A and B are shown apart, each in its own frame.
Chain A
Amino acid sequence: MDHPPNPQRPDLRALFLAFAAVGLSGFGGVLPFARRMLVEQRRWLSAEEFNAQLGLCQFLPGPNVVNLSIVVGKRFHGWRGAVVAPLGMLLAPMLIVLLLGMAYDRWGQLPLAQEMLRGIAAAGCALLFAMAWRMGTALRDKALFLPFTVLTVAAIAWLRWPLPAVMLGGLAAAGAVAWWRLGRP
């Protein structure tokens, strides 16, 4: 499907509101919603531009969608856009989550609330397992790279090593294997 570029540059208000809508529509990850808004609905980015920009956002640590909103904001309105777009995406959901936090402080100790939260946590961790499964099956060269997944789980979940050390060592080792792999036809 082809989406012709939108000739109209969004103003700051439009940026804010568009990202607010994205932030509020996503449950368990808003990236798909961000893509739909940017590429298909508003057509502020082409599909290729979106993929290229997302590359850096996923390459760097940190919340990917926040990074993405900064890239899009900067593109249209420099530093002002880069402030307004992430604020638009975060403010309303932050308010909601804080209200829920207050409710938790008030009623969280009730047995009924505890039971409900345990059910939600079960569903939440099931969604995480599914996400890991999906990402794992999408890995290229599984025989080469899945062992690094297993080592990461062993170091983090079982041995409880600190993440910075694991990431540094893991990235050096997995990056070296990837470097070697890329050098072969």
Chain B
Amino acid sequence: MSLDKEKLLQSLVNGEYPDAQGRYGPFGGRYVPETLVGAFTRLEEGVDKWLNDGNFRDELNTELKNWVGRPTPLTPAPRLGERWGAEVWLKREDLAHTGAHKINNAIGQALLAKRLGAKRIVAETGAGQHGVASAAACARVGLPCEVYMGQIDMARQAPNVDRMQRLGAKVIAVTTGDRTLRAAIDEAMRDWVASPNDTYYLLGSAVGGHPYPYLVRELQSVIGREARQQIIDQSGGLPDVAIACVGGGSNAIGLFHPFIADGKTDLLGVEAGGHGNGLGEHSATVVHGRPGVLHGTYSLLLHDDDGQIQETHSISAGLDYPGVGPEHALLAATGRASYCAVDDQTALLALNECCEAEGILIALETAHAFAGARLYAQEHAGARILIGVSGRGDKDLATLLEHAG
């Protein structure tokens, strides 16, 4: 790809993306069936109107404070810091209502759906965290919610299925395609195609056709805005690096975005290395992927020479996705952020280390960020490291037991 990296980087730092076509440099756009074009146009108009509306912002901020429990704390992690030879700070999205960052986006979009006059909400979920967040947010605003979830994910994240149902959502098993997150998105889109006027599609990651990657980034950027101020207040300066795990990339873009103009803060995205480097053995899209179009956006993608999307693998259901948000593709292309992959085993070790050293059971997804941070610390002695703790690990207990033996 011939890209004018310097120019793209400048535009990125200046906050010029997405542009009027919903692009982040060459990435992004809106590749959707004709039946959904009207729905996407209305959504885009709604996003432009309400995200900039004072009353809407007040309503959202009040819900974030009183219902989600924001701001979430920034926790120093001295014992991890001592082990790693670094100064470690944890942005605690695991302490947000429903146990992960997903709620920031879900409540924002549910409030938006209400303003747009939606009669029902559909959502997809991988690990179940976005499904739980959507179910809770829909209950909160009083809209019926249906969640598509791959059959494989339903088995490995059973407690979250129960939680969604308890919160009043209908969980629909997806038995087609890869039976994980990717197939769940396919199925949610098909649902939306059948009722584009009454249904609001509450997409959980920073992927999809424009304006979704923008909308999700705006709603998740609260993570980075809070963390940036907190780390300045508590440590006296900006971090040397901000680190987050990347599946579709919503918690990472939320953490990274407010730091993009801070040139001295490195941004490191950690992907799921699964159990090997071959196609189908991992979900490391930025590390191993090539550009292509999936689920409405042009971004990096794990696909073969015939353009067929590849099966992915990760021990963490939330990272098990063959695409990544278009803004991450641009962050990688410009070099503003770097991306690495951590395998299943290393992630498990990092999860245990965090339990032991700090008394925090993090999610398997989040554990990838911790493993990446440990590696960063080895190369940058004494660095001030900010880690996005995207979620808590209670949902992973069954998987952890399985791997304990």
A interacts with B: no
